[in-house]
Structure 1
């Protein structure tokens, strides 16, 4: 439920002046405590300790604390019941705007670490309008959180109760008076409290005709003639007890679950007069709440889970607080970790194949980019030397190993020397001989073109095949996800979303291979086309100069 202090999604830091924040997640999905209805305005305790909060970085009195909603923009009302910097323990009560059912996205952020922050004007009066009395037992006077109650006397205090401080029961009842407590005999009315009994016989709660008693560990709620008996109360263990009156029913809850319910008879006495807690009991009591509404079963379940300290519900109590510097990276890392964790085997196979294709594509692009860069440089140097030379037979072509033009020139030079061109007394070249020289150079031009275009086909395979492979991985992954959901019978969006999101990662991987390969292919193709055009022009220019200088006239 309070799957507290999990990694936060990346979003803008609420205030850059704060050095740390802690995320508290209320999990109402099947992994936490499942609720079926949206709850408006519940108030929850947030427990801070050295494992999830940096007390050294915060002020000694906690006056720099701020609480922000899940949107990381909206400040929330809160009240600090306890802040002990020396022992590194704190309890904050936070008013939530709402809690959605069936999701682990309900969250609040606790910010701290701002040296110049002014103290927040907080108030313990956080609860909804239906709440008539809330007693947290945070002081020896046992004062209420809402106005109108008058405690009958001081309360013996236990410093370390369930939430913060608790009251010690010593056989005598703790009592409060107040006009705001009066309730109709037919309701609506709700009472809840936490009890840790050392003895198992006495009156847990009494207000007028409404009573909750325990006898030998067995619980019974009564309202006049109506009785709802059920549930047991173990000794020396904290238990959450709640009684609701309304809709013609008297209902008893124990630890968030309905233990008994009975129909109300007509004519009961009103629920009025002073509140009495713990008559005849010894032990501890904490967080007494009285409201003039009928709290739903989901509300009671949520209150039990949110206020309790069950290890099952606190999924990550050792998560360190976030800092402004690490927030963005941590959030993104958290999202991709979820995707990777939910990848199916077929998606892994596709992604591995795509990774190999990506490495090959990068190698081809790098190798070809280096080749065309060096070739272009040497070609310019050779072409300048060729055009500056007066004798076609004496061009300096050495020291340019990457020049295709130099190699074509050497091929033409070999053909000319076979015909003794340039030797003393050599006969001029006929038209047929010049055509033969050009044909030999054209053959080398074709071979140079093959060399330039070798392995470029691997880029076209990556461009066309990468997205299709990725799509295949996504489709199969989605099929497997829906098949698993059908087998489990769970159609919750939280069960569907991770699998589908992970399946889409295969398509992303396919595009991640194809897009760089597409850009690289277009760049290399234009450079190779330019070099090929230069080679064709050079062949014509070379043959023309040979015909002019050594051809028959």
Structure 2
């Protein structure tokens, strides 16, 4: 049997190296920065993808949308305020192709509180589809590019954010239709600061050319409202001019739109009422022949008709009296009193035409006519104004065009209480840091308790890796040394103790054998036992070993074999601890982290996916760390166990071979061949 074939078993070294190379590649890929191939501008160090989802998996908008301003809410759960400039002037928004900058403007940016409201112009959002935009930040040299006027289309005639305090609302559109009158600010509104209406004080919207509405003209009016109570015919928006008018309001919780034209008034039909105290999106879209009222993005009611021409001022939270002109009726002329010596002129009573006999009577010439009171002249009739709306209003927009239903739905969803249906944020990406991409977000989300568990797992990982390296090298050296020693042992003839005479000197191969060959150590045990038993034998004679002596030497060899096996298995328990204990420690860290995350959410009251996801993801890092410890340890344990088994088998075979050779050589007494040759010479 070939020595190399018999004693060179074990795993294929090429396969093992390939496995380790694959593991190393996966490890490096996991820790490399996650960045896209393109980067809009290298001066910005951070960016994140914002997904606008109008598909069925998101907002589910099936109608045409078109160009729409999208509200991007930034908070500490989705944005790193510490990495941006204090005023947010380094914010940039780029389209999904990562090439085209988008127009935007900042309504609010508070780095201290970690809150920001940014309006981004989406040039063309398609119904039922997804679109991506990139938010870039992290450039301390950047200057502000916020441009409110460019954020909205040219047909947008009025946009009030109501973010001012103590000053009239400023128009964010290009037309500068600023309000007349400051009004009362409403803190903590739906979107930043709103306007509080008390039903008495109204806010005037000026009459400008850009706000004029032509006869049968198109119009889109949107706003967020929060009624304080149920009111009868409460006016939110009123614009009247003579007998023409447009009124939008609430009637016992039911939104309505009312159109007056040429003395005729039409109001939308009543629908389901809304309860006071909650925010609702209200919109009116007028096209020639149809006026549609929307509530929370859905069609609520409609009127067959058109909006009349209007050029006058408009009111928020108030109404003006409705004036209807009456037909003219000239008053009768009373007879002038007669002068002295002159007869009074005859006076005809109005009742003459009715056949009154006295109506045509002529008074005596010397008697002055008694003046009759003239009846009052006919005047225009005046209807009382409706009461003003009591509640809060926010984000008023007026567009001189009819926007589609999908546009209204997109506004209602993106600006509402649950914008995540339309807008989602991806983790940050960095240009030049290994702590970037998804891994960087996870690292930053790990809590203190998670780091404690990860630290313990790191110690376990280092210990297991040290065992892997040391044990793998030890097995490799022993295999090579045994392979070099075995041919020398097999070359022995009858004197099995001949190799004991090898001194400390020798070539490198012999030194390696003496240091690493386990077979040599077993051989020395057996050879020493033989030397003890041959000490009383006559010179020139080989001792005879009976069965008991051979069994005794075998026992000594097997004892040495047990010690060698113990050396092979030394420290392997560290790998077993890493395999079984690593995942459980990681699970412990994850459970604690999730508990802390939910406790923090319960205390803050902010229940949304952006608040939950970072904490849960950071907690799961402990489980990942546990698996990262256990998986390499498991692979190494199996590999090393196979090597230990092979070395053990080799030593067992050697013991049997040594005992067999010993039994053949010392089973009967005979002359020593070596001494016989010496005597012959």
Q: Same fold (TM over 0.5)?
A: yes
Note the C-alpha offset of 1:107.
7.2
Aligned to 1:372: 475
Q: Is the 8 A contact 2:238 2:245 kept in 1?
A: no
Structure 2 unmatched runs, 5+: 1-32, 261-265, 320-387, 448-460, 505-513, 577-622, 667-671
Counterpart Cα distance in 1 of 2:99 and 2:408 = 29
Q: Structure 2 matches for 1:517-532, cutoff 5 A? A: none
Aligned to 1:480: none
1:436-475 alpha-carbon deviations (Å, 9 max, x no partner): 99xx99x979x969987999xx9xxx9xxxxxxxxxxxxx
Q: Structure 2 matches for 1:132-171, cutoff 5 A? A: 133-137=158-162, 140=167, 142-147=169-174, 149=175, 151=177, 154-158=180-184, 162=189, 163-164=191-192, 166=194, 170-171=201-202
Aligned to 1:213: 249
SS of equivalent to 2:119: strand
Aligned to 2:9: none
Matching residue within 387, 394, 412 for 1:286: 394
Q: Structure 2 matches for 1:307-386, cutoff 5 A? A: 307-308=415-416, 310=417, 327-328=436-437, 329-331=439-441, 369=472, 372=475, 375=478
Counterpart Cα distance in 1 of 2:441 and 2:113 = 30
Counterpart Cα distance in 2 of 1:248 and 1:552 = 132
Aligned to 2:220: 190
Note the C-alpha offset of 1:34.
4.1
Larger radius of gyration: 2
Q: Is the 8 A contact 1:452 1:528 kept in 2?
A: no
Q: Is the 8 A contact 2:89 2:144 kept in 1?
A: yes
Counterpart Cα distance in 1 of 2:537 and 2:99 = 89
Note the C-alpha offset of 1:370.
6.7
1:499-545 alpha-carbon deviations (Å, 9 max, x no partner): xxxxxxx9xx99998887667756776797689789989979x979x
Structure 1 unmatched runs, 5+: 1-9, 338-357, 463-505
Aligned to 1:37: 62
Aligned to 1:395: 501
Cα 1:401–1:522 change in 2 (3 A) is closer
Establish whether residue 91 from structure 1 lines up as the match of residue 117 from structure 2: yes
Q: Is the 8 A contact 1:194 1:238 kept in 2?
A: yes
Counterpart Cα distance in 2 of 1:20 and 1:159 = 36
Cα 1:196–1:178 change in 2 (3 A) is farther
Counterpart Cα distance in 2 of 1:450 and 1:100 = 76
Aligned to 1:66: 92
Aligned to 1:12: 35
Aligned to 1:261: 301
Matching residue within 389, 405, 425 for 2:539: 425
Cα 1:552–1:304 change in 2 (3 A) is farther
Cα 1:530–1:88 change in 2 (3 A) is closer
Counterpart Cα distance in 2 of 1:523 and 1:73 = 53
Establish whether residue 276 from structure 1 lines up as the match of residue 314 from structure 2: yes
Establish whether residue 407 from structure 1 lines up as the match of residue 515 from structure 2: no
Counterpart Cα distance in 2 of 1:300 and 1:198 = 24
1:49-88 alpha-carbon deviations (Å, 9 max, x no partner): 6787666765454322334567888754310223456777
Aligned to 2:205: 174
After TM superposition, the score normalised by the length of structure 1 is 0.57
Q: Is the 8 A contact 2:93 2:135 kept in 1?
A: yes
After TM superposition, the score normalised by the length of structure 2 is 0.48
Structure 1 window deviating more from structure 2 (325-334 vs 120-129): it is 325-334
Cα 1:450–1:273 change in 2 (3 A) is farther
Cα 1:532–1:314 change in 2 (3 A) is closer
1:261-307 alpha-carbon deviations (Å, 9 max, x no partner): 24x54x645566467342333665432223423432x5434423432
1:296-354 alpha-carbon deviations (Å, 9 max, x no partner): 2x54344234324x3x6689xxx9x97956544354579999xxxxxxxxxxxxxxxxx
Aligned to 1:79: 105
Aligned to 2:145: 120
Counterpart Cα distance in 1 of 2:122 and 2:245 = 33
Establish whether residue 242 from structure 1 lines up as the match of residue 304 from structure 2: no
Q: Is the 8 A contact 1:226 1:250 kept in 2?
A: no
Q: Is the 8 A contact 1:397 1:406 kept in 2?
A: no
Structure 1 window deviating more from structure 2 (394-403 vs 233-242): it is 394-403
Counterpart Cα distance in 2 of 1:410 and 1:252 = 101
Cα 1:174–1:188 change in 2 (3 A) is closer
Note the C-alpha offset of 1:253.
2.3
Q: Is the 8 A contact 1:197 1:236 kept in 2?
A: yes
Counterpart Cα distance in 1 of 2:169 and 2:629 = 63
Q: Is the 8 A contact 1:428 1:550 kept in 2?
A: no
Counterpart Cα distance in 2 of 1:107 and 1:335 = 25
Note the C-alpha offset of 1:191.
1.9
Cα 1:376–1:176 change in 2 (3 A) is farther
Q: Is the 8 A contact 1:382 1:403 kept in 2?
A: no
Cα 1:125–1:409 change in 2 (3 A) is same
Note the C-alpha offset of 1:242.
0.8
Corresponding pairs, count: 461
Q: Structure 2 matches for 1:514-553, cutoff 5 A? A: 550=674
Aligned to 2:354: none
Aligned to 2:404: 295
Q: Is the 8 A contact 2:179 2:204 kept in 1?
A: no
Cα 1:514–1:76 change in 2 (3 A) is same
Q: Is the 8 A contact 2:235 2:248 kept in 1?
A: no
Structure 1 window deviating more from structure 2 (117-126 vs 13-22): it is 13-22
